[in-house]
Amino acid sequence: MRMIFLHTAVFLWILCGVSAEYQNVALQGRATMCTILDDYHWGFQSAAINAIDGNQDPEFIHGSCSHTHKQLSPWWRVDLLKPYKIAYIKVTNRDKYGSRINGAEILIGDSLSDNGNHNPRCAVITSIPDGATHTFYCHGMTGRYVNIIIRGKTEFLQLCEVEVWTNDTN
């Protein structure tokens, strides 16, 4: 009886030691972006913070998406307030005009040079269908800032949720 208890305790200790819980650290972050779609009725509905509100609703008019003006190299950034080792990032695209995000880069780092747009690249978003969520693995890249930029193209940047997942407990 004693031997079974000891093995069970060791097994549980090993299991608990190996598995760490992942958390979405973007929820406590501070978001900003190059411009805000602020024509007469969209203002708050297109704010940068909407992309880290924990709501994946892809319908823009519901007020949970961020949206820039159409411009050259539009960008969005979340400041995680301290560096984290990032496992993966999930991006939810808007339910309409989803092809606008094609070619966007996801960047991670500690620099604010050019608004953080010179940090190392985690991934390129080749496409995300309208209203869908895709996961991009960053393999432990470390950084305080996560940027999404459509570099070298005149476009709108619209994001309905950006989740930054880590099991880093620093």
Please state the pTM of the whole predicted model.
0.86
Q: What is the average pLDDT value for the chain, to the nearest integer?
A: 88
User: What pLDDT score was predicted for residue 36?
Assistant: 83
- In angstroms, rounded to a whole number, what is the distance separating the alpha carbons of residues 115 and 151? 13
Q: What is the pLDDT of residue 15?
A: 42
Q: How high is the pLDDT of residue 60?
A: 87
Predicted confidence (pLDDT) at residue 11 exceeds the cutoff of 50: no
| Alpha-carbon span 116 to 29, nearest angstrom | 15
Q: Place 168 in a pLDDT band, splitting at 50, 70 and 90.
A: confident
